[in-house]
Amino acid sequence: MLRAISPIDGRLLGEFVVSTSDTIHRQMLAARTAADNWARVPTESRVKILAKLLPLLLSELDNLCDIIVQTTGKVRTEALLGEIYPILDLATYYEKHATSILRTQDIATSPFAFPGATAKIERRPYGVVAVISPWNYPFQLSLAPLLTALYAGNAVILKPSELSLPIGQLIVDLCRRLELPPNLVQWLVGDGSVGQKLIDAGPDLVFFTGGLNSGRAVMQRAAQHPIPVMLELGGKDPMLVFADAQLTRARDAALYGAFSNSGQACVSIERLYVQNDCFDQFLPMLLDGLKQLQVGHGSRGDLGAMTSQKQFDIVQAHYDDAIAQGAQASGPLQRNGNYVNPLVLWNVHHGMRVMREETFGPLLPLMRFSDETEAVSLANNSELGLNASIWSSDIAKAERIAAQLQTGNWVINDVLKNIGHAGLPFGGVKKSGFGRYHGAEGLRNFTYPVSGLTSRSSLAKEPNWFPYSDTSYKQFKGFIDFVYGGGSLFQRIKRNWPALEAFKEYSAFDLTQRWQNLKILLSWKRDY
Ligand code: NDP
């Protein structure tokens, strides 16, 4: 049994039976049958069925927020905006676009190499997708990949964090109310070892969101089969504030970006760099803003509880290391139950853990920079590359900076919000992971492409088939010079005429297929 305890007040929220290897294998078999059936449902019909989620969520907002708040300790507005709103947006986006994103695509075909032929790419679902999700946004970070996998035609087995079991239960209950086919969505109860057993049960794709070390273990396990993986890992996201930015707005954004969800967000602002020319003005503004923040539960709190003791220990270690190396802090790191006061740190450097490793808690370290070159160099001086925020009233300059950052995503003159844009593929570079979800690319990533070519040749034999000879070699050489060589079309025809004559039967030159070939030729000119 695993017990779910609320980080708010230590209340017992439920007890859950841990999944065994036997149950996981039985679930995998059932999921495979469900996946086969679901893959045969046309995308339009899948979209109609899944469209029922939106009104269901809207009718349950308060209840959903209650369960999320109790399980995670986050404040109510955070639950609404950080956990539920992105799902509403993603569901709406895929309801509108999934059919066209997944549609079979005609591909232009060279009339010289494949005369009369057509080609296409179909998208097919993987089958069973294992979604392994973390505790910080357990609703959003489980449901977003789960829903995407379903739109793409897969079955899902969800392994939520052992710290988020009531959310796993909630998601499966919501799916049941959509009247999805039996076993299309199932879940497992357990810790990381259950996640490993899930991978050993042989899903067709693993979508993992979590820390770097667990991501490595997931990839290592998946490699034994091998199973493709997408890894959404952590961040150490920089925010660059130039002197020409709107400083008050940048100050409020920095506080929000660093401390929303008590800093337990993969896209939290974890490194704040402020240009020399405004640093001495910006730091007191930041400290003033910090004083206004409220830690607490219910309608008065901006920052809720931290979810786990383990994470608080990391925050404490980063704080202690920074202070030991000469950092100054806005105050001591204080904790009341699981409620932790947010802190700003300065006089920091990249030798400190708080500037190198993901803190995932309410600490905001800030440093100076002199110019664009130094800003880019400091921002890129990290093993992680998830999101980045750039602040300047000169948008061209901000976009120039963004283009030089080693990051999977960036946002100018705002923070965090870009992860909530359902049309933008989201994911990391460097040790922040690989693979993307959200947007068209994110949906296609839950499918694999199958490409096909249909010949419409009326010839008994294609010219490239056996037998080979010196003559056929010369003819093909002439053909290659005609297609790819230099000079005008007339010159290429003239110098290769004897070789081209050998191909006159080839259907590109067959007058009976003239119209079909003209169409192919035009599309090839356009797309190939
Ligand atoms: P963990 O890596 O500890 O856990 C993530 C999930 O993986 C949990 O369900 C966990 O189970 C499971 N797990 C742990 N070890 C293994 C394993 N060896 N094999 C299979 N599954 C395993 O991350 P946290 O839950 O602590 O989440 C915080 C991390 O997630 C942060 O680093 C954060 O940056 C990252 N994150 C990344 C996001 C992104 O989009 N890039 C978004 C949000 C968070 P259990 O918890 O039960 O042990």
Residues 413, 277, single domain; the answer is: yes
Q: Atom 34, ligand 1: which residue's CA is nearest?
A: 234
Q: 111 CB less than 6 Å from ligand 1?
A: no
Q: Check which CATH number belongs to the domain holding 310 and give it.
A: 3.40.309.10
Q: Write phi, then psi, for 363 (nearest 5 degrees).
A: -120, 135
- The SS3 assignment for 112 reads coil
Residue 458: the pLDDT is 81
Of 78, 83, 162, 232, catalytic: 232
What pLDDT is recorded for position 113? 82
User: Of 324, 327, 336, 344, which Cα lies nearest the Cα of 269?
Assistant: 344
Torsion, Cα of 28, 446, 439, 176 (10° steps): -20
Residues 505, 449: Cα–Cα separation, whole Å:
34
In the residue annotation, 266 being an active-site residue is answered as yes
307 lines ligand 1 (CB under 6 A): no
Q: Ligand 1 atom 23: the closest Cα is on which residue?
A: 210
C-alpha angle 130-441-239 in degrees, rounded to nearest 5: 95
Which CATH number covers residue 139? 3.40.605.10
Within 8 A by CB and 6+ apart from 23, the residues are none
Residue 352 belongs to a domain:
yes
Residues 272 and 397 both lie in one domain = yes
The single-letter code of the amino acid at 185 is V
Distance between CA atoms of 300 and 17, rounded to whole angstroms? 36
In terms of residue numbers, what domain contains 132? 33-107+115-233+441-450
Asked whether residue 412 is assigned to any structural domain, the reply reads yes
Does residue 399 share a domain with residue 326?
yes
Ligand 1 pocket mutation, candidates 197, 209, 318, criterion most atoms within 8 A of CB: 209
177 in any annotated domain = yes
Report CA(441)–ligand 1 centroid distance (Å). Answer: 23
Question: Is position 505 annotated as part of the catalytic site?
Answer: no
- What letter would DSSP give residue 303? B
8 within a domain of the structure (yes/no): no
Q: Which atom of ligand 1 is nearest to the CA of 213?
A: 2
- pLDDT tens digits in sequence order for the chain, 528 residues long: 999 999 999 999 999 999 999 999 999 999 999 999 999 999 999 999 999 999 999 999 999 999 999 999 999 999 999 999 999 999 999 999 999 999 999 998 887 788 879 999 999 999 999 999 999 999 999 999 999 999 999 999 999 999 999 999 999 999 999 999 999 999 999 999 999 999 999 999 999 999 999 999 999 999 999 999 999 999 999 999 999 999 999 999 999 999 999 999 999 999 999 999 999 999 999 999 999 999 988 667 899 999 899 999 999 999 999 999 999 999 999 999 999 999 999 999 999 999 999 999 999 999 999 999 999 999 999 999 999 999 999 999 999 999 999 999 999 999 999 999 999 999 999 999 999 999 999 999 999 999 999 998 888 888 899 999 999 999 999 999 998 999 998 999 899 998 888 887 765 545 455 566 556 555 555 555
Question: Cα(231) to centroid of ligand 1, in Å?
Answer: 10
Angle at 499 between CA 493 and CA 503, to 5 degrees: 95
Give the Å distance between the CA of 210 and the centre of ligand 1: 3
Residues 352 and 383 in one domain: yes
For 461, counting Cβ atoms within 10 Å of its Cβ (0-12 exposed, 13-18 middle, 19+ buried), the class is exposed
Closest approach atom of ligand 1 to CA 419: 40
Co-location of 211 and 299 in the same domain? no
Closest-CA residue, ligand 1 atom 16, reads 192
Domain shared by 281 and 209, yes or no: no
- Residue 389 belongs to some domain of the structure: yes
The candidate with the shortest Cα–Cα distance to 271, out of 342, 197, 356, is 356
Same domain as 211, residue 297: no
Instruction: Answer yes or no: do 123 and 241 share one domain.
Output: no
Per the domain annotation, does 136 fall within a domain? yes
Instruction: Tell whether 20 is covered by a domain.
Output: no
What per-residue confidence (pLDDT) applies to 143? 98
Given this model, what pLDDT does residue 161 score? 98
Helix (H) or strand (E) holding 65, with range, is: helix 61-72
Q: Where are the alpha helices (DSSP H) in 103-231?
A: 140-151, 165-177, 192-200, 212-223
335 and 244, same domain (yes or no) = yes
Instruction: Tell me if 17 is assigned to some domain.
Output: no
Please check whether residues 176 and 325 belong to one and the same domain.
no
Closest CA to 368 of 427, 297, 283, 294: 283
Task: Please state the domain count of the chain.
Answer: 3
- The per-residue pLDDT for 460 is 86
Mapped onto helix, strand or coil, the DSSP state of residue 267 is coil
Same domain for 243 and 223, yes or no, is no
Is the same domain home to 415 and 493? no
